[in-house]
Structure formats: C-alpha cells, structure tokens
Structure 1
Amino acid sequence: MKKKSGLFGLILLLIIAAIFPVNQAFGENEGEIVVTTKVVNVREGAGLSFPIVKKLTKGETYPIVNEDGDWIEIRIGAGKTGWVANWLVGKKSDSNQVKQESGQGIITGSSVRVRTGPGTTFQTVGSITKGTAVDIIEKNENWIQIKHAGIEGWVSADYLKLTKASENAVEKDTMQKKEESEQSLQTGVTLVDRLNVRSEPSKSSATLGKLNKNTTVTVYRIENDWVEIDFQGSHGWVAESYIELGKNKSETKINTTGTTARVTVSGLNVRKNASPNSKIIGSVNKDETYQVLQTTGQMTQLQLSDSKKGWVVSWYLEIENAEQTTKKKKIDVKGSKITTIHDGTILRSKPDGNSQIVAQVKEGETFSVLGMEGDWYSIKLKNGQTAYVAGWIVTIEGNAEQIQRPGVEKYLADKVIVIDPGHGGRDSGTVGVGGTLEKNLTIRTAELLRDKLHAAGAKVILTRSSNTYVPLPSRVSTSHINNADAFISLHYDSTKDQIASGITTFYYHDYQQNFASTLANSLGSTMQVPNRGSRYGDYHVIRENNRVATLIELGYLSNPVEELRITTNEYQETITTAIFNGLARYFK
C-alpha cells in the first residue's frame, strides 16, 4: 500500500507540474509590471470583452505570470490572477539585465536630409554627409531614427547602412516605448437647470441624466454645437449654448496686448472658442490685419470688428509689432554659413515670400550670412548682391539655432488615434494571388502609420501589435475606453474580378461621414490607383463605434498587378503618408 501511495503521489505531483509551471509553483515570476496610467482595468481574460475584476492605479506594481499577444497576466492576490493590456502598463527593468545600445550606422548618400519624423512631410532639421557614423535610436522598414553631433531625427533607410552589431540590436517594434500623455482638459460651468446630458452629440440621442445650474464639469472636446463632458465617470454630451467654457488647464495664455496679426491664407475659418473643433462663425482673408486679443495653445483670438471677435489657428498668422516676435529679435548670425537643402531653392529681394525672386540655386550651395530678419537669412551672392532665403529650407553652421516652420503635424499633437490592423492570428483575412496574407500586410501598414503619428506628437494605440486574433467587440472597445479622437481600421480587398482595383473608404454613421470623406480625398489626391471615394459600409468596427471611425480597403490583393504594387515599400510609404495628411487635414 505504501508503494502504491508513493506512486500515486508522484503521478499527482507530475500532473500539478504540468498544469502549473514551475516558476508559478515556487513563486518565481517573469518580472513585474508597473501601472503607467491613472487607472487600469484588470480583466478575467486576455481581451477587452472579459469582465473587470479589479482596478489598478498609477505606480502600483504586480508580478507577471504570463503573456498573450498584447495582454499580460499578473498576480493580484493569493491564488488570483488577471489580465491587463500591455499598452497601459510598463515592465520594470531587471537590475541584472544589461541594457543594449541600438548600435550605429553609416550614411551612404552624399547629403542625406534629417527630418523630424519618418516621412517626407516632416520638416528638415539638417543634413549629414556621406561616410558619417551615426547612432541609431529605432527604425522601421523605410526610415531610421538617428542621432549625430546634436542633430536627432529620421533619415531614409535607403541612405543608411547598418553595422552588423546594429542589425541585431535594433528592434522594429517600438510599442514598448509608447508614452501616456495626459489629455489637455478644460472645465465648464452649466448655465441652466436640469440640463440634459446625452449619449451622442444629437438631440435625438438617449438621455444619460441631468445637471443642475452652476455645476462644474470637465470638458474633453467641442464638436459642432455640442460639448463632450465627464458625466458620472463616463462621457456624455451637452449643447454648447448651455455651458460656459473655462480656461484650459494645461495651456498658458500669452499676453499679446498691442499686437496685430496679418492673415497669410485666404478663407481662414474663424471659430467661436479656442478649439480647432469649435463652431465656425466666419472667415478672414489673406493680408487682412487684425488686433490680437490673446493666444492660447495653437489658437489666437482676433478682434474682427468693434463688436465681434473670434479664434483662428495661429499657424496661419504673421504676428506684427510684438516685442516677442522673431522680427524684433536681434540675433548675431554674422560669420555663420547656410547650406541649401533643395534643388531650385529660391532667393528673394526681401525677407518675404511674396517679394521678387533674385535667383534659384542648387542643393548643397553654401553662402555666408550677413544678418537675420525674422525667419529669413540675408546672404551675399557672388555678384555682390544681397538676397534673402527662408531659414526653414536651409541648414546653418554657427551660433544661430535651426529655424523650423510648423508643418501639418501640428494638428495631430496630443490626438488619440486608434489604428486597427484588420484580421490576425487564426483569421488571415484575404489571400492574394501571389500568396500575400492580408493580416500581415495590415500590421505592416499600421506600424508605418503609427511611427508617423507618434513623431507628430499623437498618442497612438494599435488594437493588435502582433499576429494575434482580436475579436471585433474588443477592437471597438479599444476605441471607446481610450476616448479616441479617430479610429482607423486597415484592410485590403478581394473579389472574383481580378481586374478590380482601387481604394475605398467606408463610414456607417453620419458623424463619421466627414472623416471618411476627408481621408478619401487625401488618398485620391496622392495615390496612383483608382479612388472609389467614401461610401456607406455596414462593418462592425464602425457600426458599433461611437467615436469618429472609418474602415479603409487599401487596394485589391485579388488583382495580381495591384498585389505587386501594394507590397512594395514605396506603396506602403505613400499610403501611410496620405492617411497621415488626411488626419491632419481633418483636425485642422
């Protein structure tokens, strides 16, 4: 009996060991997570559709038990575990682990431009000559982020050769480097009693509850004539006319008393409040001048007439008569040299984009700097003539700082963008004529788009960052729980007709139509494939989504010619740039 009992005990021990890994049985963990956001939900399973079992707060740490795709299983008590999304937590570094450097690379082009982000739409911050060794920070298939002699930015992967050590050290996936940034929030005070709070920005939507007069609320954003507010721990909408908006908590107003501004574009929208999403109340035209009342963030308030004032995007204004403006700055740039970074760089007679053209010069030409007026350098030509060149289209050597002109990326700063790479895991999606799997192509596109948006200052969340299956409700939940400013689901199309070609952008709800149309226009003006425009589509990820959302079919894998084009680096770069520009245009 003793022998049988011992044998039974050994068998039981082996079964337990098979079910519970040794590291769990003896309390050894796979590291720890630290909560990096204000509140993180712990769920029963690895997905947003599972029930919440616990809430964690920022700074708390818990042992890691297991990982599954974008989810981490943690120990939350004696014999209890739960799952958290990896984009909401960080991993505590092991003190015994040696941190690897990203490595180095060698510039192979004659004069390679360094940009603020991974794409040609980003501003140039300098150039590096052939043969220069640079430190590598991170990379994707088309662009590499580098650092050299005080210059940090992105260069085209075509002009950089990695050392062997670097090829092993640089990781393509940058999801672990995502930073949580607090949203810029406003406060507001209700002006009437029993103010209806609705589920959507529409009088016909469901009423969530009511607010009394003089109630202070947190404001997330303004959309048309509606204001999105915090209501009982969730989000709701109230009519803008019944709420008085307060000062933005994270923005500082700049005193611009006595300052005037000249409008630099025609048809610039004037808005009711200091938000690019506020109601449009009029427009102003190029070369018109107005008194500046105040500047808050990226918006400037103008005195339009004796009784009317409004807000415009500061980017399209040229400030005049202000002590703090660059025109009044006295910067000693004598002895510095500038180098042109574009072929056909225009030199003008005055420091003004509308002045007479003096000459056009090639890329790489160098000139001595005589002085600086605003954002323009005065230089001397070989014939002794003085000319002016814009500071943002040249690089400078000397004491002066590199001038950067704001680009479209300014509109994307702090926006929450959820990118949904279609399919994944056991769901391969469509299969191209040449064997291309849709699930692999969508994640590739998503990563390139993510890098561009991240460089522009947007908070980017992927519904999946690896080859994992994510249920459709979980993808939608990612949009809701992160209060996404935009949700984009990426797909590639297929049909029995192997000649079918082009890009189609879908929406379901009316409040999504403008977003889909804006992206469709950007894609149509950029891509050399048929643009099928924006149209209604009954897809779960946009139908069940209460945020601004779209689903884009980025081309036909069933077309053998289009499949070859779609899978090229050039197409992937161009398509993600078009979406990036479309997003910026939508938030403009």
Structure 2
Amino acid sequence: MKKKSGLFGLTLMLIFSAIFPVHHAFGKDDGENIVTTQVVNVREGAGLSFPIVKKLSKGESFPILNEDGDWIEIRIGTGKTGWVANWLVERQTGSDTNQVKKESGQGTISGSSVRVRTGPGTTFQTVGSLSKGTFVDIIEKNENWIKIKTADIEGWVSSDYITLPSASEKAAKKDSTKEKGTNQSVKTGVTLVDRLNVRSEPSTSSAALGKLNKNTSVTVYRVENEWAEIDFQGTRGWVAEPYIQVSEDHVDMKKDTEGATARVTATGLTVRNEASLSSKVIGSVNKDETYAVLQTKGNMTQIQLTGSKKGWVVSWYLEKENVEQTAKEKKVDVKGNKITIIHDGTILRNEPDGNSGIVEQANAGETFTASGMEGDWYSIKLKGGKTAYVAGWIVTIEGNAEQIQRPGVEKYLKDKTIVIDPGHGGRDSGTIGVGGTLEKNLTIRTAELLRDKLQAAGAKVILTRSGNTYVPLPSRVSTSHIHNADAFISLHYDSTKDQITSGITTYYYHDYQRALAATLANSLGSTMQVPNRGSRYGNYHVTRENKRVATLIELGYLSNPVEELTLTSNEYQEKITSAIYNGLARYFK
C-alpha cells in the first residue's frame, strides 16, 4: 500500500508540474529587476486586498519572478516572495534604457573642425570645435552621438567624426603607460603655438598622438634633447621643447589679481588641488557662482572655496570682475583668431546689434579673421577692408577663446517631466514591417535617442519600459500620473494593407491634449520629408485614460517597403527625435 501510495503521489506531482510550471529561480527575464522610486508595500498576493508582508525603501532593487496583470512578483529573501504594483516601481535590466550609457576610454577626432555641441543633436548649440587628430576622453554615447571631454571643452560630437580605439590598441596603450616612470620632477608648461603635435617618442618621425592648442596648460615630467615629456589625455607624450614654456612653481605667479573675483561660466567646472590638469580633483563649482581669485598660473586660476579651502580651475571658464580694465581686455582679446560660420545665410551687420543694418550674408564653412570683440559680437574684416559684426553664438572660434552661447530652446525644457512611452515590447511585437522590422524594437530605439536629447536640455525623462519588456497599457498611464508628467509621448509605427500609404500622424483624445498634438504635428511636418497627416482625434488607451497632457504619434508606415528602409535609417531616427524635441520646446515656450 505504501509503495502504491508513493507511486500515486509522484504521478500527481508530475501532472501538477506540467500544468503549473515552476518559474526560473533567477527571474522571469534574465537579469531583470524592479527598482523602487518611493516607499512601496509588498503584499502576499497580486491585489490591494492582500496583507502587507514588507515595505521597500527608495532605491532598493529586487529580481522579478512573475507578472499578473498590473502586479509583479519579486524575490524579497531566501525562499520568500511578494507582490508589488508595477506602477509604483521601475524596471531595470542589465542594459536599462532609463539609465545613461556611461562609457570610458578615448577616441580621436577624424574630421576637420568638428563641432562640439551642448547635447546629442544638431539642434543643440555649438560650444566649440576640435581639430583632426585631437584626442578626447569618452564620457557616454548613443547610436549617433558621443559625449567627449578634453582639457578645455566638454560636449557632444557626431559619431561619424570620431574614431574609437580597438581592444588591442587599448591594451597596448595601457601597457605603455605602466612602463613609464613617475618619479621625475613635475613642472607646469604652457603651449606657445596652435596645433602643436604630441608624439609617442621624442622624434618627429614617431607617431602623432594628437594636437594641442595655444595656451594649453600641461604637466611636464622632463626635458631632454629639446623635447619635453608631458601628460597627454592620461598617458605620456612628447612635444618640441621650443614650443612650450616650462615654468617653475614660483614663475608666472600673477599677484595683480589680488582683490579680484570671478564668475564661473561653465556648468560643473572641475576644481583641482594643484595648477595642473592631471592633478587630483577635489570638487566642482557651478555656473554663475562667484569666487575670490587668489592667483593665476599658466592657464589655471586658484580660487577661494568655502572656509580655508582653495582650489585650481581652468581660467577660460571664469569671467573675472573687479580687476584692471587692461586685464579684462586681455581676457577677451580675440584679434587674429579664425572665425567659422556655422549656418548658411548668416547675417553680417554694420554694428554689434541685431537691429543694425545688413552688410552681407555668409554661408556655412566660410572663415574670417576676428579683429575684436564687442559684447557678444565679433568684429571681422571683409574683403576690401570693410568691418562687419557677427553674433558670437552663431559661429565657432578657434583656439581657447571662450565660446559665446545664447540661450536656446533647451531653456523651455529644463526641469520639465516628460514620460516617453515606447509602444509594445516583450511578447507584444507590434506591427512587423515587410522587411521584418519589429515595431517594438524601433520604438525603443527612437525613445532612447529622444531621451538623450531631452536629458541634455535638463528635462527629467522617464521611459515606461526598459529594453524588450512587456508593460500593460494601464501601467504606462500610471507612470504618467505618478510622476505628474508635463507631457506624455507614446511612440509607434503604423501599418496598413495598402503598401503605398505613408506619413506621420499625431493623435489626441481630450481637448486639453489637442495643443500638444498640434504643436508636435507642425514641428514634424516642417522637418520631415515624409507626408505629414497632421493631428487628429484618436481613441487610444494611453491618451484616453491619461489625466496628463498626452499624445500618441505614428511615426511612419512599416507596411510601406520603401518607407520602412527610411524609418530604420540613422538619419531618419536623428531627424524624427530632433523634430519631437523642438516641438516639445515650442509647446512649453
């Protein structure tokens, strides 16, 4: 009887396991977790009627085991599980799309006079340019843009104009750096010429590591046989000694700054413990903050921080006050610097004023020599010797002169909360293009590019899904409500049986959503080459149930084989996200 009973029990267990399969012990989706954004109750079951078994704190992360409607089962301990409402948490995977893609390493500028911008897109202002061969530190990147940093500039450049080292090159560079000694007497130097070659060895026949601009402050390790070994982008390099001024600590200490103050003109300006770009970082100061100036050394300025704390910052990101007029004039002396026009049809005026008379127009790529600077305008010499003025924020200037910026559309997006909803995901693929494109993959790609642009403008951006995950429609709407979204943008791609149909359509449901849909439709229509079907009423859950201003955009037809190729191109993705970005800025203006 016992044997029969045991056999019957084993059979029953096998039947149950076939009907109710056991979930993977390490999460429903490999590596997928939830992250709490506030204090969240964990319940025994999938519903508010179940008792609370635990409270989660903000920032805690737990693996996902299962889903039931709007509820997620998580592991909260060894052998312990519980349920949380999915609208109170955020999903996170190993490649969480709500997180910035941080990068490290170096790259080389491969184009000539490559523009550096404040954000990942041509919509963003130009803050300067970099010469071909310049080495840059990589901070982060997306599909089309890379955020870089050099000793004197930080911003985004198009990935088309930067070369990243291969894995073997990285390893070789690391080994080379380790072999170098670090016990030499360290001094400070300042470059005397523009485009000074930095070489791997003290010889003109050795490989060029990059170039340095005039008046760049560098750390000098030693000088031998008319060559100086310097710190270059974290490694050792050599420059011709006649083109660099090497100073002892007591040299170049300017005491005429006593009693002066300076205003910070850069966001998050790094503070170091010594007058060297390779010295230890001890903190940062913010834009428009004012500090007492203690002394300057090369292109570094020592400022008084809180209490008795002092630190060194790069001088060209300071606007000095309460100093002699001659010192001020020296700071803004741009005479002889080359100015490059950024846009076609740039107006050159007869006075440094936007209302003054027009002298002539210039096109992108044209260059002029600066003869001076008045306010935010550069004076330039035209052919024939005539003087004209051009606004400093619509040109780039070579060298280390501070790039003039004018507040752009990003000021309207700063501190706005925007929820981006990439349509479909997980088991819901959405429409499938004639060439096999999955809508769910294309919407998350578009969402990530749009997120990067909005975050660069200072907006708080939340994505309703991370990676290839399924999120129910009510949860997407809940995300909009929980975060009190200023705008909710649902991204989709369309399909129809007629393979000729093409174009972009923007939908709203409630009257309070009409203005956003119309503004985005206008922006898309003025930017994109595909037909614009305008804004119209549409009965979609994410707009109908949304109490916030929301819109759903069909960004093109995957059922059209020609349009599918366009929609999946880098160029289209860049343009469509820029158009939405500009449309949002106009809406908030």
Deviation at 1:343, TM superposition (A): 5.7
Matched, 1:413 2:414: yes
**What's the counterpart of residue 481 of structure 1?**
482
Deviation at 1:49, TM superposition (A): 13
Contact kept, 8 Å, 2:24 with 2:65, in 1: the verdict is no
Superposition map of 1:446-485 within 5 A: 446-485=447-486
Structure 1 residues 54 and 577: alpha-carbon distance in aligned structure 2, compared to 1, 3 A threshold: farther
CA distance in 2, matches of 1:425, 1:556: 21
**What's the counterpart of residue 158 of structure 1?**
160
The structure with the larger Rg is: 2
CA distance in 2, matches of 1:128, 1:50: 61
Contact kept, 8 Å, 1:64 with 1:73, in 2: the verdict is yes
Contact kept, 8 Å, 1:412 with 1:453, in 2: the verdict is yes
Contact kept, 8 Å, 2:33 with 2:91, in 1: the verdict is no
**What's the counterpart of residue 585 of structure 1?**
586
SS at match of 2:563: helix
* Runs of 5+ consecutive residues of structure 1 not aligned to the other structure: 1-14, 25-29, 92-98, 170-296, 298-322
Contact kept, 8 Å, 2:420 with 2:491, in 1: the verdict is yes
Matched, 1:561 2:571: no
CA distance in 2, matches of 1:426, 1:168: 40
CA distance in 1, matches of 2:66, 2:406: 44
Matched, 1:549 2:550: yes
SS at match of 1:149: coil
Amino acid corresponding to residue 165 of structure 1 in structure 2: A
Is the deviation greater in 529-538 or in 81-90? 81-90
SS at match of 1:474: helix
Structure 1 residues 429 and 34: alpha-carbon distance in aligned structure 2, compared to 1, 3 A threshold: closer
**What's the counterpart of residue 10 of structure 2?**
none
1:378-409 Cα offsets, whole Å, 9 max, x none, are: 34556544332211123345675321111111
Amino acid corresponding to residue 149 of structure 1 in structure 2: A
Aligned-residue Cα RMSD (Å) equals: 4.7
Contact kept, 8 Å, 1:48 with 1:477, in 2: the verdict is no
**What's the counterpart of residue 369 of structure 2?**
367
SS at match of 1:418: strand
CA distance in 1, matches of 2:39, 2:538: 35
**What's the counterpart of residue 136 of structure 2?**
134
Deviation at 1:56, TM superposition (A): 4.1
Superposition map of 1:261-300 within 5 A: none
CA distance in 2, matches of 1:38, 1:464: 18
Deviation at 1:354, TM superposition (A): 2.6
CA distance in 2, matches of 1:421, 1:32: 19
Amino acid corresponding to residue 414 of structure 1 in structure 2: D
Contact kept, 8 Å, 1:413 with 1:458, in 2: the verdict is yes
Deviation at 1:440, TM superposition (A): 1.0
Equivalenced residue count is 418
SS at match of 2:369: strand
SS at match of 2:104: coil
CA distance in 1, matches of 2:46, 2:149: 38
CA distance in 2, matches of 1:145, 1:464: 24
Amino acid corresponding to residue 389 of structure 2 in structure 1: Y
Superposition map of 1:40-439 within 5 A: 55-58=55-58, 73=74, 75=76, 79-81=80-82, 102-165=104-167, 332-335=331-334, 337-342=337-342, 345-359=346-360, 360=362, 363=365, 365-370=367-372, 372-380=373-381, 383-396=384-397, 400-439=401-440
Contact kept, 8 Å, 1:346 with 1:357, in 2: the verdict is yes
Structure 1 residues 32 and 517: alpha-carbon distance in aligned structure 2, compared to 1, 3 A threshold: closer
CA distance in 2, matches of 1:470, 1:104: 37
Contact kept, 8 Å, 1:452 with 1:580, in 2: the verdict is yes
Deviation at 1:74, TM superposition (A): 5.4
Deviation at 1:150, TM superposition (A): 2.1
Is the deviation greater in 407-416 or in 391-400? 391-400
The TM-score with structure 1 as length reference comes to: 0.60
1:202-251 Cα offsets, whole Å, 9 max, x none, are: xxxxxxxxxxxxxxxxxxxxxxxxxxxxxxxxxxxxxxxxxxxxxxxxxx
Deviation at 1:66, TM superposition (A): 6.7
CA distance in 1, matches of 2:531, 2:43: 44
Contact kept, 8 Å, 1:134 with 1:146, in 2: the verdict is yes
SS at match of 1:106: strand
Contact kept, 8 Å, 2:431 with 2:438, in 1: the verdict is yes
Contact kept, 8 Å, 1:40 with 1:88, in 2: the verdict is no
Contact kept, 8 Å, 2:380 with 2:387, in 1: the verdict is yes
Amino acid corresponding to residue 111 of structure 1 in structure 2: S
Amino acid corresponding to residue 334 of structure 1 in structure 2: D
* Runs of 5+ consecutive residues of structure 2 not aligned to the other structure: 1-15, 94-100, 172-287, 289-320
Structure 1 residues 160 and 86: alpha-carbon distance in aligned structure 2, compared to 1, 3 A threshold: farther
Percent identity among equivalent residues? 72
CA distance in 1, matches of 2:51, 2:508: 29
1:341-372 Cα offsets, whole Å, 9 max, x none, are: 426544322111232334537626252442x3
Structure 1 residues 43 and 108: alpha-carbon distance in aligned structure 2, compared to 1, 3 A threshold: farther
**What's the counterpart of residue 95 of structure 1?**
none
1:156-192 Cα offsets, whole Å, 9 max, x none, are: 12112222239999xxxxxxxxxxxxxxxxxxxxxxx
SS at match of 2:470: coil
CA distance in 2, matches of 1:129, 1:72: 54
CA distance in 2, matches of 1:20, 1:373: 70
1:257-306 Cα offsets, whole Å, 9 max, x none, are: xxxxxxxxxxxxxxxxxxxxxxxxxxxxxxxxxxxxxxxx9xxxxxxxxx
Structure 1 residues 49 and 559: alpha-carbon distance in aligned structure 2, compared to 1, 3 A threshold: farther
Contact kept, 8 Å, 1:338 with 1:394, in 2: the verdict is no
Deviation at 1:515, TM superposition (A): 1.1
Deviation at 1:423, TM superposition (A): 0.9
Deviation at 1:414, TM superposition (A): 0.9
